[in-house]
Every structure is written in structure tokens, then in C-alpha cells.
Amino acid sequence: MRLFLTLILIFTWTSGLRAQDPLSLSDAIQIGLDNNFGIRIEQVNQEIARNNNNWGQAGRYPTLEITAGQSNAITDINNPASFLQGQVRSNDLNPVIAARWTLFDGFRVNISKERLELLESQSDGNAQIVIENAVQAIVEGYYAVLLEQERLEVLEEILTLSRDRFQHVMIRKDLGSAVTFDILQDKDAYLTDSSNYVLQQLVYENAHRSLNLLLADDLKRRYYLTGSLDSPIYSYNYQDLYEKMTKSNSNLRNQYIHQELLRNATALNKADRSPSLDLNLGYSYSKNWQDLSEANFGNESGPEEVIKSRTTNYFANFTLAFTLFDGGRIKRQIKNARIQETMGTLETEELKQVLDNDLLSALDRYDVRKKLLNISQESLQNASLNLELSEERYKNGTINSFNYRDIQVNYLQAALRNLQSKFDLIQTDTELLRLTGGILDNYQ
């Protein structure tokens, strides 16, 4: 009775599984791209890089400033040698408008603008890498759930066979044709399969929770995945894949941008050797108020009214600057920048070699896993046919419970190997797509 209740609970859980919201792979990717925190952070970085990429940030335009100063002073003069004696109060107001424009600085403005464009491209490349990694993780997470779901269905099938076999032996027991040893063997198999099924439920739940984490979705929400582990099988050519990788791999493209940034840094340091010519334009206005009512001029007292004065000044100045000697600082900076360029070239070549190795390894795995999939499919067909034939033979008493259990376990292992082979092939295909820069196009 306890076994029967356990089985009812298991199948009730399975029925609830099929009543969940449907989720296709494309929908999962869209949800993940909309919610992924890493992608949202990179989008903010992209916005910052776009805001910085303008001529004003590079220094092409003049700077305009307005300043105003106001001062107040009381001067008490007690000097026999001075014609003016007593207390003098003065107030000043000095507004100034000044503009500075760099007319020439060794083309630093153009070089800086090019650098800002490269930084924006690098930010876009970083976002591309984050998106590709997210898509790869979602694809693998999606198929991982499918894998565990289909494993659960296989274990459910095995559990059903064990239940039928146990019920069959109990009927034989009632008829007096089954011994206690056979009953114990069939019951043990039934309990083992029930345990495996319950444990697989936990594995499936964890896989689904991991997928929800990748989607930045509610961890308790459950979907019914509409995809399948049966995917197209391709015949890839290494040379074609290599050419795609060198042109489209996001990491490599970002490394190329990094190289350009290093060359740009060298050009910026070289610009320090050139003279700079600045134009300074301005307007200043000064207004002064003096109160001499408490002062005197010799024997005469100062005027009662406040004396007002003003001064207006316009100016246009040119400043030419050229560094004659700085202890070799500019020379060292240029040399260091060229060394950095050489390092960047070496890093690019190293990255190419690493990616080439990853590509070769992934392609080898893909070819091997295609063969393993074919083998596992044939093995599953044989195991399925053998299980179908042995079931009737077991009921007729032609084979014993040990033989039937061995055939049952063999079918289970063949089915699980086939599912794992399908998943491994999809995983390797996804890796090849990412290495060759085509993962976004493929899952768009």
C-alpha cells in the first residue's frame, strides 16, 4: 500500500509538470537578454562611452569662463609724510569674461577623438562578449533542463516496468507460483527505481532553478520547455571555421581594438614633441567706489560724496609653447608606448593561438560526439527491442527475474547515454558558434 501511494504522488507531480507555462529556446534567450544584470551593466558603460565620444571631450572647442570678484577695504592713514590722512573706504567690482582656444597642439585633438571612438568600439565589444556568454549559458542551461526532464521520463518508464513486474509477482504469489526470493528481488528493484526517480526529480528542480537564475527570473517559477534534444547535425570544415573565427570572434576583435588603442597612445605621446599655440580672448570691467568723507587733504577735509571710477579692458593674446628639455620624459613615454604596442601584438598572436587550439579541440569533440551519438542510438534501439522481447519472455517464465532486471538496467543505461550524447553534441555545437562569432546570429 505504501508503494502504491508513493507511485501516486510521483505521477501526480509529473502531471503537474506538464501543466506549466510553455517556454521556447528563443523566448528563454529574449528573457535572459532583457533581465541579465551583466548585460544591463555593460549597457550603462556603452552609454558612458557614447557620451564621451565627441569633439568637445577631445578638446577641439574653446573654453569660455566668466568670473566676478568683489572686494571691500578700509584704510586708516596716519603718516605725516602722506598728503592724504584719515580713513578711506573703498569697494571694487571686477567681472571678467575669458576664452581660451588651442589652435594647434600637434594634432592631439584629432588623436584624442580617434581614441574616444576606439573606446566606444571597445565598450561595444565588451557588451558583445557579455551578451554572447549570456546566450551560450542560457542555451546550455535550457538544454540541461531538457536533458534532466527526459532522464526523468526514462526513469519514469523504468519505474512503470518495475511496478508492473512487482504487481505481476504479487499476483503469482496469490496463485502460489511465486517464491519469497522472487518477490524480494522484484520489490528491491521497484524500490531502487522509485528512489532513482525521486532523486532525479531533485536534479531536474536544480537544473530548472539554475536556468531561472540565468534568466534573472523568479527562482520558484517553473516552465514547460517546448524544445527538444534532437538537433541538426553538421559537417564542419576547419578552414571555414578558422576564417570565421579570425574575422568574427568577439574576443579577437576586441583585442584588435586594444592594439589600435596602444598605437593611439604612442601617437598621443609623440604629440608632446610638437609646439602648442593658444589664443586667449577676454574682456574685463572694474568699477570702484571710494568714500573719502572721513579723510583730509592737508588742512582740508575730504569730499562728502562717493568717488566712482571704472576701467574697461579688452585683450587678445597668443601663447606659443615648446618643450626644449624635460629630462627625457617625453622620449621615455614614447619608448614605453612602443613597448606596450609590441606587447599588444604578442598578446594578439597568443590569443589567436589559444583560440585556434580551442577551435581544434571543440571541432574534434564535435566529430567524436557525432560518432558517439550514432553508436548510442543504435545501442538504444537494440536495448529497446531487447526489453520489448524480454518482457513477454519474463511473463512466460522463459527468463528469470535476474535476466529481466539485467535487460532493464541495460536499457536504462543505453537511454541515458543517448540523452547525454545528444546534450554533449548541442553543447559542443554552441561552443563552436561562440568561437566563430556566430552564436547571436544563430539564436537571433
pLDDT tens digits for range 70-117: 888 877 767 665 666 666 778 888 899 999 998 888 888 899 999 999
Tens digits of residue pLDDT in 23-42: 999 999 999 988 888 888 88
* Average confidence score pLDDT of the chain: 86
The predicted structure's pLDDT at residue 197: 93
The predicted structure's pLDDT at residue 136: 93
Burial class of residue 217 in the structure, from the number of CB atoms within 10 Å of its CB (0-12 exposed, 13-18 middle, 19+ buried): middle
The predicted structure's pLDDT at residue 178: 60
* Domain 61-104+276-321, classified CATH 2.20.200, yes or no: yes
The predicted structure's pLDDT at residue 182: 66
User: Which residue ranges in the chain fall short of pLDDT 50?
Assistant: 1-2, 4-5, 8-9, 11-13, 15-18
Q: Do domains 2-35+106-275+325-442 and 61-104+276-321 have the same CATH topology?
A: no
The predicted structure's pLDDT at residue 303: 65
Q: What ranges do the domains of the chain cover?
A: 2-35+106-275+325-442, 61-104+276-321
For residue 49, give the nearest of 118, 100, 105, 108 by alpha carbon: 118
Chain mean position to CA 120: 16
Q: How many CB atoms lie within 10 A of CB 30?
A: 14
The predicted structure's pLDDT at residue 8: 47
What span, in angstroms and rounded, lies between the C-alpha atoms of 362 and 373?
Answer: 16
Tens digits of residue pLDDT in 309-320: 888 999 899 999
Which is it for strands 223-225 and 21-23: parallel, antiparallel or unpaired?
A: parallel
The predicted structure's pLDDT at residue 20: 73
The predicted structure's pLDDT at residue 397: 75
Which class does domain 2-35+106-275+325-442 fall in? Answer: mainly alpha
Burial class of residue 347 in the structure, from the number of CB atoms within 10 Å of its CB (0-12 exposed, 13-18 middle, 19+ buried): middle
* Predicted model pTM: 0.80
Nearest 5°: the CA angle 202, 207, 208 is: 95
